[in-house]
Amino acid sequence: MSGTPVLSTLTEGLAGASPVAVRGVLNATANYILSEMFRGRSYGEVLAEAQRKGLAERDPAADVDGHDAVAKIMVLAALVFGHQLRLADISRRGVSSVTQKALDEARSEGLQIRELATLERSSSAEGSLVGRVEPVAIGADDPLARVGGTDNAVVCRAEPLGAITVIGPGAGIELAGQGVLSDLVNVALRRGEP
């Protein structure tokens, strides 16, 4: 989420709370593509535009096949839940699998399609963590349905707080630089450096 302070919010800001689930729109390129396709544009046209704008790499597989969101959900699993997932632990299906027909059907039912990255404790006795990255049709009342374009968002459910939502810009050179600067400042503060 570039410079949006999601990691500190979900770690320091939730100190003393017990996280139950995390779900989010974590890849700005995938979100941009789905937002534009929802307006009726073709996948190929939007992907080419995203590449021209610098939102997508020349080889866009990391974004459109869900690999980037998987990496981010692994970071959230480690920081929020204290549990390191393996790639094999996370099911993945990217936005390259979304058809215009699926988007048209979602629109006709008043739904949006977003690539959601989710983490939640399984119902098994051991309560292991289950991770998924996949395009999902969600209702207009879902806060993630309103996150369009290159914005990203994370919703964390924690006891006793309930749902906490963090929304911010997810792409751009200056925003990424702000995120790196923020990380460096936090590392220096933790080490006691000025």
What digits encode the pLDDT tens for the residues 115-126? 999 999 877 656
Active site residues: 72
- What is this structure's pTM? 0.89
- For CA atoms 75, 81, 86, 91, the dihedral sign is negative
Tell me which fold the domain 20-151 belongs to: Dihydrodipicolinate Reductase; domain 2 (3.30.360)
First to last CA, the chain: 26
| Rounded Cα gap, residues 44 and 100, in angstroms | 11
How distant is the alpha carbon of residue 16 from its chain centre?
A: 24
Nearest to 39 by CA among 112, 129, 118, 95: 112
* Domain boundaries along the sequence of the chain: 20-151
pLDDT in tens, 40-93: 999 999 999 999 998 899 999 999 999 999 999 999 999 999 999 999 999 999
Segment 21-36 mean pLDDT: 96
pLDDT value at residue 141: 94
| Rounded Cα gap, residues 82 and 154, in angstroms | 17
Tracing tokens 């919703």 back to the chain, one arrives at 155
Q: Which two tokens stand for residue 18?
A: 């017990």
